[in-house]
Amino acid sequence: MTETTNRARPISGPVLNRSLRWMKENLFSTPLNTVITLLCVYIIWSVLEVLVSWAVVNASFGAAKEACEAATGACWAYVHDMWRFLLFGTFPADQHWRPLLAMVMLTSGMLLSMNRRFWSPWLAVAWIVGFIAVYFVLRGGVLGLPPVRTAQWGGLTLTLVLAVVGIAFAAPLALLLALGRRSEMPLIKVVCIVIIEVFRGVPLISVLFMASVMFPLFLPEGVSIDVLLRAQIGIIFFQAAYLAEVFRGGMQAIPKGQYEAADSLGLNYWQKTFKIILPQALRLVIPPTMSTFISLFKDTSLVVIIGLFDLLAATRAAVNDPMWRQQFIEAYLFIALIYFCFCFFMSRYSAYLDNDLKKSTSH
């Protein structure tokens, strides 16, 4: 009834008309609905108002620290002063273009890999070459670049290196573990179960701790493995153990008929696995896989306990600077925004990929 009258006299333009009708149907359809809508608007407004007045209205945006003293809101001069430290950690200041280049290489590599057109075995080769390049860009010691010890790598650069290398190696390792756990060969099966259960059964912190403190005790004298590498390997195994169970779940969801059809056509184990089972199984588990990647990205912040200096650790060090004591909220908000951008982007990509693959194989 109301709808017909509404349609009878258009207000101004179809867009406004449509959004008004949408609000009427969804937000104000019943008295109760109207009350809830108004209440929500009030709550959102009261939170936003505080935030906006702190972060924008009463904030000081100048680069000078002195300006902050007058302002009652946020002091963005802090971020202005500290962003290099947050992004690059203690990397020598005159070499900052190197971690920047490394980050550009890693993120553009990720963006390119998201396009399904590039999915081929060559992509794996490109990644390995890319990792070697990133490693030498950061470490230096070649082509006249001054060497920089891994202990000096830090900030967002370190977070990205740990996360991207972690994802790139945890995924194939997880695949092998998942296949191994489903294998009929007892030795392989037992080894895979032990690896998965051990790494899933302990917190990441203790994995990192063991990698940094206990692992060197088992090495012969004179042999030492870089602490960053040890942490990286710890992260890879830890996330691979989780991911292996995600993949295994996907494989178990594939109907028996698919295995039988592949068998009866004479496909061998590897052909069956890589051409028939995995393409279907991995599609099923895109959302939980991306969840694991997102948690890997955030969990890299735990490397701080073994003395590595990632984005979060850099921030913590920065707020301990006596000059800037007051500004820890700005610092944490800033890096929260960085973490959120990466994680939200991964989450959106997962939803897009899921949809895109579904669309292409059905009506």
Partner 1 sequence: MTEQRQLADRESVIQVNKMNKWYGDFHVLTDINLDVKQGERIVICGPSGSGKSTLIRCLNRLEEHQEGDITVNGIELGDNVKNIEVIRKDVCMVFQHFNLFPHLTVLDNLTLAPMFVLKQPKREAEATAMKFLERVKIAEQANKYPGQLSGGQQQRVAIARSLCMNPKVMLFDEPTSALDPEMIKEVLDVMIELAEEGMTMLCVTHEMGFAKQVADRVIFMDAGQIVEENEPHEFFNNPQNDRTKLFLSQILGH
Q: Please report whether residue 188 would count as binding partner 1 according to CB under 8 A.
A: no
Q: Which of these, 290, 188, 203, lies nearest to 238 by C-alpha position?
A: 203
Q: Does 95 engage in binding with partner 1 (CB under 8 A)?
A: no
- 10 belongs to the binding site for partner 1 (CB under 8 A): no
Sole window of 50-58, 144-152, 250-258, 291-299 interacting with partner 1 (rule: CB under 8 A) = 250-258
Is 263 a binding residue for partner 1 by CB under 8 A? The answer is: yes
Toward partner 1, which CB reaches closer, 273 or 315? 273
> Minimum distance from CB of 260 to partner 1 (Å)?
5
Q: CA separation (Å) from 75 to 37, 53, 72, 332, 343? A: 34, 12, 9, 13, 26
| Contact call for residues 313 and 331 (beta carbons, < 8 A) | no
283 binds partner 1 (CB under 8 A): yes
- Rama region for 128: left / alpha / beta (φ>0; ψ in -120 to 50; rest): alpha
227 vs 309: CA distance, rounded Å: 12
Does 38 sit near partner 1 (CB under 8 A)?
no
Q: Give the DSSP letter of residue 147.
A: P
Under rule CB under 8 A, residue 264 binds partner 1:
yes
Smallest gap, in angstroms, from Cβ of residue 361 to partner 1? 5
Is 253 one of the binding residues for partner 1 (CB under 8 A)?
Answer: no
User: Is 120 a binder of partner 1 (CB under 8 A)?
Assistant: no
- 178 belongs to the binding site for partner 1 (CB under 8 A): no
CA 164/CA 338 separation, integer angstroms: 15
Two tokens, residue 348: 């959106």
**268 near partner 1, judged by CB under 8 A:** yes
State which of residues 13, 31, 201, 266 lies at the interface with partner 1 (CB under 8 A).
Answer: 266
Does the footprint of partner 1 cover residue 280 (CB under 8 A)?
Answer: yes
Stretch that binds partner 1, among 7-15, 38-46, 254-262, 313-321 (CB under 8 A): 254-262
Q: Which residues contact 84 (CB under 8 A, 6 or more apart)?
A: 93, 96
Nearer to partner 1, 49 or 260 (CB): 260
Rounded CA-CA distance 178/196 in Å is 9
**Cβ distance to partner 1 smaller for residue 17 or 258:** 258
Lookup result for tokens 């830090």: 154
E-only strand ranges, the chain:
154, 309-310
The verdict on 267 binding partner 1 (CB under 8 A) reads yes
Residue whose tokens read 């099923």: 284
Among the listed residues 172, 279, 287, 307, the single contact to partner 1 using CB under 8 A:
279
141: left (phi over 0), alpha (psi -120 to 50) or beta: left
Interface segment toward partner 1; rule CB under 8 A; list 5-13, 170-178, 255-263, 329-337: 255-263
Burial class (CB in 10 A: 0-12, 13-18, 19+), 239: buried
Task: Tell me: does residue 356 bind partner 1 (CB under 8 A).
Answer: no
**What's the min distance (Å) between Cβ of 184 and partner 1?**
12
Count of residues that bind partner 1 according to CB under 8 A? 22
- Minimum Å distance from CB 250 to partner 1? 13
For residue 261, what is the DSSP state? Answer: H
Q: Choose between 117 and 359: whose C-beta lies nearer to partner 1.
A: 359
* The one segment of 64-72, 213-221, 272-280, 297-305 that binds partner 1 by CB under 8 A: 272-280
Tell me, rounded to whole angstroms, the distance of Cα 78 from its chain centroid: 26
Return the residue of 53, 258, 295, 347 that touches partner 1, per CB under 8 A: 258
Does the protein bind partner 1 through residue 265 (CB under 8 A)? yes
Evaluate whether 245 touches 196 at the Cβ level (below 8 Å): yes
- Which residue in the set 7, 116, 200, 275 belongs to the binding site for partner 1 (CB under 8 A)? 275
Element (H, E) at 310: strand 309-310
In this structure, what DSSP letter does residue 154 have? E
Listed residue (179, 163, 165, 169) closest to 245, CA to CA:
179
Question: Which residues contribute to the site for partner 1 (CB under 8 A)?
Answer: 255, 257-258, 260-268, 271, 275-276, 279-280, 283, 360-363
